[in-house]
Amino acid sequence: MPTVPMKQILDEAVKGGYGVGAFNVNNMEQIQGIMQAAAETKSPVIMQASRGALKYTKMLYLKYLMVAAAEDNPEIPIAVHLDHGNNFETCRQAIELGFTSVMIDGSLKEDSKTHTTFEENVEVTAKVVEYAHKYGVTVEGELGTLGGIEDGVGSGNILLTDPAEAEKFVKLTNVDALALAIGTSHGAYKFKEAPVLAMDIITEVKKRLPNTPLVMHGSSSVPKNLIDIINQYGGTLKHAMGVPIKSIQEAIKRGVKKINVDTDGRLAITGAIRRYMTEHTDVIDPRDYFGEARKAVYETVKGKMIDFGTANHAGDYKAKSLSDMIEIYKAK
d(CA 22, CA 257): 10
Q: Name the DSSP letter for residue 154.
A: -
* Catalytic residue of the set 83, 105, 262, 264: 83
Q: Is the dihedral of CA 105, 44, 79, 15 positive or negative?
A: negative
The Cβ of residue 234 has, within 10 Å, a number of other Cβ atoms equal to: 10
Distance CA 191, CA 62 (A): 32
Packing angle between helix 263-279 and helix 224-232, nearest 10 degrees? 30
Distance from C-alpha of 298 to C-alpha of 38, rounded to nearest angstrom: 9
Amino acid at 43: S
Q: CA 88 to CA 85: how far, in whole Å?
A: 8
**Burial annotation 169-182 (CB, 10 A radius, 16+ → b, else e):** bbebbebbbbbbbb
The SS3 of residue 256 is strand
Among residues 6, 113, 2, which one has the least CA distance to residue 68?
2
**Helix residue spans in the chain (DSSP H):** 6-16, 28-41, 51-56, 60-72, 88-97, 118-133, 163-173, 199-208, 224-232, 245-254, 263-279, 286-307, 322-331
CA 243/CA 185 separation, integer angstroms: 9
Q: Rounded distance, CA 91 to CA 44, Å?
A: 23
Q: Is 72 a catalytic residue?
A: no
CA–CA separation, 1 and 78 (whole Å)? 8
Residues involved in catalysis: 83
